[in-house]
Structures are given as C-alpha cells and as structure tokens.
C-alpha cells in the first residue's frame, strides 16, 4: 500500500489524522519541522493505539523551505495538507501568517502534482468561510467565503487566501490532480500528548479560573476525532473531489453554554468556568486594551452558526455530540496537567 502523506504530524489535527489513517490500515508518512520531535510523536500515538512502527515514517520538511517536499510526497496517492501557521501568539503583521500559509500550500501542491498524487485534502477552517460578513439569520455553508477586504484577524485572512490560492493552482496548474477542503469550526477534543494547542485555550482558561466572565458570542464546535474522520472520507470518496466541507457538530454554542456543560459534566473541577456573560459594550471596551479580546472583535455579539449538512449527506459523516467532546477535552487537559484549577492562596 502506498503511503499517505500528512503534513504537520505533531499538530493537534495532524496527529489525530495519522492515528485515523493507521487505524484504517494505511501506511503513513508525515512531515515535521524538527526531527527531534519524532520520538515524542511516536510515543503519543502508541499510547492511543497499537500499530506497527514500520507503517509510520517521519520526514523533515518546513512550509517555508523548499527542501524535502519532493521526497515527502514521492510514491503517495494522497496528501492531507494539515500544516499551517497557527496563532500561538498574536502576530505583529499579517505577513507572519499569510505568506507562510499561502506559499506553503502552493509548495505542497506543486510537489504533489509533480509526484502524481491523486488527491490532496486541504485543512482549511471556518475562518475561511464565515468572517467579515454582516449579521445574518441563516447558517453559513460551503458556498460562503470570508471577506478578506474586511477588517478581520490575520489567521482568518491567511486561511482564506491560502485556500483561494490552492483552488486557483489546481484549476490552472494542477494537471488533473484533485483537491478537497475541510473546514472545521472551533476544534475541541482530547490531546494525544502534552501539547497545548491554541484551539483548546478557551476550555483551558475556564478550568484555570483565568476567565472571569464569558465573552458574548456564539459559534460552532467539533471534535478533533471527527475532523480526522472527515479528512479520510474526503480523501477517498469520489464525491469529495473539488468540494469544500464544513465540520461542525450541531448548532452554535455561546461561550457561557460551554461553561454550563463543564459544570454539568465535571462538577467542582470546573467550578471556575464562568457562566456569567459580559455585555457586548463592556467587552468591546476591554478589547481596546486586551489583545486577545481584540482578535474576537469580529465575533462579539454575533452568532456564527454553520451547517455540516453537506458532509453528512454527501460523505455520510456523523459527528459525536459536542457535549461529550467538551467533557472529553476538559478531562484530557486535566490529565495532562494543563488547565488545572488555580489554587487560592491561604489566608
């Protein structure tokens, strides 16, 4: 069996895609920027599943460097391009995210085309669909695109421009190769290792007691394990070629709703999760001095609802209940020592 290439194998979504592929019987090749992380990645995966080490190969390749990509895609029928710059810290300029994301996806697609890869699945995001629009009462679908001319954060702009570039490349220079894109909403779920992905920052801070009140907005969320499952379906199903797929587990949730679920499922261990919601006006005022709230300004007071009906109908994808995902996320964070409740000083 020819290997499937997964870019960004040490990432949150990438590592779960590797696990799903191995579980399905595929041979996997994955890229990492730092080969020293290979032993840790293998350890995480072996703690979650039993597999033959010969079925996983780890190679070095960096989205910002042309070296290594031809070897990475050699003999592969499929590529899951998961790697992308992430918002672990607030970027100083758009180019810190946009240029690596756009140039990186083109670098991978060129190598895939030259190697005769049958299909590439691109990990995009809801951020490439539902940002920069005026308020609306209907859910976002795959027909929508984020407005990059609007005042939006660099991460969402980077995901949108990178995906636009990918579709243009396949149309104009792809030489018959196929592309599908997966658009997860907010991604929760258990950790495979002790990493601290940005998408779990919300629940981590709730558990730590570092969020005194919930910001006022609603959006959709999805389990990382279901995101990986959708990648595999988009990789092999003939109906997925040339399509975009939103991944979201049901209607949108307010941040305060997530806090209530944590209280219900974890009891005292989630006692600091804030059920109280900040008023929109106060949150906007705080955003002028708080960089993290400033990144949410396009969401404040909004309901960014989305539907995954297309993935469910066309590919038979079925996400698990988001309440279970939220509980699993919190349990995993606590198990790994991330998000432990803040101890109050003795008086």
Give the active site residues: 159
- Would you state the structure tokens that stand for residue 82, as one six-digit string? 């998961």
Contact criterion met (CB below 8 Å) for 251 and 278: no
d(CA 294, CA 215): 11
CA 161 to centroid of chain Cα atoms: 16
Strand, helix or coil for residue 34: coil
d(CA 170, CA 168): 6
Q: How many CB atoms lie within 10 A of CB 182?
A: 28
Strand, helix or coil for residue 195: coil
- Would you state the structure tokens that stand for residue 286, as one six-digit string? 């705080």
DSSP track, 65-83: --TTHHHHHTT-SEEEE--
Instruction: Please report, for residues 9, 53, 283, 332, the alpha-carbon distance to residue 70 in angstroms, rounded to integers and kept in the order given.
Output: 17, 23, 48, 37
d(CA 229, CA 2): 19
Instruction: Please report, for residues 19, 229, 259, the alpha-carbon distance to residue 112 in angstroms, rounded to integers and kept in the order given.
Output: 22, 22, 43
d(CA 27, CA 145): 34
Q: Classify the phi-psi angles of 205: left when phi > 0, otherwise alpha if psi is within -120 to 50, otherwise beta.
A: alpha
d(CA 183, CA 122): 9
What is the phi/psi pair of residue 259, to 5°? -60, -40
Q: Please give the helix or strand (H or E) that residue 42 lies within, else none.
A: helix 38-48
Tell me the sheet residues that pair with 56: 28
Strand 221-223 versus strand 186-188 pairing type: parallel
């Amino acid at each position: 069996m020819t290997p499937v290439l997964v870019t960004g194998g040490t990432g949150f979504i990438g590592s779960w895609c590797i696990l799903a592929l191995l579980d399905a019987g595929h041979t996997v090749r994955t890229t990492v920027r730092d080969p020293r992380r290979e032993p840790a990645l293998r350890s995480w995966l072996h703690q979650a599943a039993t597999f033959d080490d010969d079925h996983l190969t780890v190679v070095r390749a960096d989205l910002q460097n042309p070296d290594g990509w031809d070897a990475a895609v050699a003999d592969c029928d499929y590529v899951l391009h998961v790697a992308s710059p992430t918002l672990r810290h607030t970027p100083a300029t758009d180019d810190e995210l946009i240029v690596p994301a756009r140039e990186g996806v083109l670098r991978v697609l060129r190598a895939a085309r030259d190697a005769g890869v049958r299909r590439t699945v691109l990990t995009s995001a809801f951020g490439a669909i539902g940002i920069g629009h005026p308020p609306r009462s209907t859910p976002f679908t795959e027909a929508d695109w984020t407005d990059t001319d609007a005042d939006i954060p660099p991460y969402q702009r980077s995901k949108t421009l990178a995906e636009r570039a990918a579709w243009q490349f396949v149309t104009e220079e792809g030489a018959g190769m196929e592309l599908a894109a997966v658009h997860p909403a907010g991604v929760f779920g258990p950790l495979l290792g002790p990493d601290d992905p940005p998408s779990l920052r919300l629940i981590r801070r709730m558990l730590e007691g570092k969020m005194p009140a919930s910001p006022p907005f609603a959006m959709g969320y999805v389990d990382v394990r279901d995101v990986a499952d959708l990648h595999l379906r988009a990789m092999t199903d003939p109906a997925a070629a040339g399509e975009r797929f939103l991944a979201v587990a049901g209607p949108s949730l307010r941040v305060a709703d997530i806090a209530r679920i944590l209280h219900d499922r974890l009891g005292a261990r989630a006692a600091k999760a804030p059920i109280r919601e900040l008023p929109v006006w106060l949150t906007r005022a705080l955003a002028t001095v708080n960089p993290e709230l400033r990144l949410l300004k396009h969401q404040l007071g909004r309901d960014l609802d989305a539907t995954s009906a297309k993935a469910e109908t066309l590919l038979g994808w079925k996400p698990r209940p988001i309440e279970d995902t939220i509980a699993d996320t919190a349990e995993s964070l606590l198990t790994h020592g991330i998000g432990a409740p803040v101890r109050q000083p003795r008086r």
